[in-house]
Amino acid sequence: MITPEPNCERALGIRPSVSAVSFDEEGSRVVRRIHHVGIVVRDLAEAYRFYRDTLSLPLVKEALIRDQGVRAALLAAGDSEIELLAPLDASSGVGRFLARRGEGLHHVCFDTLDIHAALAVLNAKHVELIDTAPRPGLAGAIAFLHPKACCGVLVELATPAEDAASDGSPVRLKRLVVGARDVKQTAGVFRSLFGFQEVAMNDGPRTMLAVGRGAILIVPSEEVGGTEGMVALSLVALDFESLMAAFDRAGTKCLRGTGEVTLEPASSHGVHLHISRYE
């Protein structure tokens, strides 16, 4: 997780309450789904043992990405994917992240139809970007926004070379949980930048934003141990019993409830995972 910018709205130079309408109109055509959630791991082969072999996510592709200093893999998780990133050395950005924070959630990537157009929209709004032009990545043509632009969440945009084939993965990504000091403000920034619509919820301190068939759930940081930025993933298992049997065989440490399970991050490479029965 990235150190959050205290005044992300000011950093953006926008006031979501004023500009949300025009952004929504542009943004609704910009982002199609959560393409993947990136997880930094120490070693790819070791991470495969949990994510591919125990959780049973099908491996889509693996490649060496020299300009990012990583060996990376994409595994299918329903409409989205999980990206595992292992640093090639300690000096790369991902290597420094691993040294500083250990394994865990690193970034979220949104699938956009036209990354050039998306960057042009963001540029025109003076959004802070790491990449002002797309470059080749594992997910296609990609570009990163500065985490300051999204309240401490590192966001990647990607236009895939080909449409994702239906994957048949037994576990799908349902939502990404983000901790925020100010839930409404953070939700406003995400809506403004990407045109996400709010999903109706009971009045409460949380806000849910729809992203394709998935969602981002923004919760007060005090609910999640003071963490700001990405804190957890919710997944849905098509065959919950088989998954529990796989956890038993692998000795995966988790807290089991009725129809849902929470993994200890030590078992899932630093990621808080909530997995529920398919409904």
Q: Applying CB under 5 A, which residues contact Co ion?
A: 38, 83, 109, 156
- H/E stretch holding 118 reads helix 115-124
- Where do the H-state alpha helices sit in 125-238? 183-194
Residue placing its CB nearer to Co ion in the complex, 110 or 196: 110
Q: Closest separation between CB of residue 136 and Co ion, Å?
A: 12
Q: Closest separation between CB of residue 68 and Co ion, Å?
A: 9
Residue placing its CB nearer to Co ion in the complex, 36 or 52: 36
**Cα radius of gyration rounded to whole Å, the chain:** 18
Distances (CA, A) of 207 to 58, 155, 158: 31, 19, 25
Residue placing its CB nearer to Co ion in the complex, 16 or 38: 38
Residue placing its CB nearer to Co ion in the complex, 83 or 103: 83
By beta-carbon distance, which residue lies closest to Co ion? 38
Q: Closest separation between CB of residue 58 and Co ion, Å?
A: 18
Strand partners, 199: 208
Q: Closest separation between CB of residue 159 and Co ion, Å?
A: 13
Here the tokens at position 99 are 């040294």
Q: Can you state the angle between helices 183-194 and 16-27, rounded to 10 degrees?
A: 40
Task: Report the alpha-carbon distance of residue 25 to residue 47 in Å, rounded.
Answer: 40
Task: Using DSSP bridges, classify how beta strands 229-237 and 171-180 pair: parallel, antiparallel or unpaired.
Answer: antiparallel
Q: Closest separation between CB of residue 222 and Co ion, Å?
A: 29
Residue placing its CB nearer to Co ion in the complex, 109 or 232: 109
Residue placing its CB nearer to Co ion in the complex, 44 or 254: 44
Q: Closest separation between CB of residue 59 and Co ion, Å?
A: 16
